[in-house]
Amino acid sequence: MAAAAAVAESVPGTRPGDGIPLEIAASYRTRTRGLLGRDGLDGAILLTPAASVHTFRMRFAIDVAYLDRRLRVLAVRTMPPGRLGLPRLRSRHVLEAEAGAMERWGLRAGLRVEVVAPSPAR
């Protein structure tokens, strides 16, 4: 999985350079694995392309943000383990995080998520 940072525009308290640790799951294998087998997540994981998710065999509840092709948030939902999320019309990507994280970050429908590559270590 590739590493990056995510920042949502127009979120109070965020500035350029602020970011949420982000894993990017772009291959079939990494999207299928997702958060299975983990006990938690520091930051978020972006599944791309994806229009729906499930929480079968997961150990914790997650927040799910459905994003369109321009990374604009269409909807945010919390899913407990053992659930199947229905596909979202216009969704091209799904952002997942531990339950409650997106509310703390102020992520809501209508905001756009920006994915930023990490700066090289000096």
Express each pLDDT in 45-59 by its tens digit. 999 999 999 999 899
Instruction: Tell me the three state secondary structure of residue 49.
Output: coil
pTM: 0.84
CA dihedral 108, 118, 96, 16 (to 10 degrees): -10
For 58-111, write each residue's pLDDT tens digit: 999 999 999 999 999 999 999 999 999 999 999 999 999 999 999 999 999 999
Asked if residues 91 and 51 have their Cβ atoms less than 8 Å apart, the reply is yes
Residue 67, both tokens: 């994003």
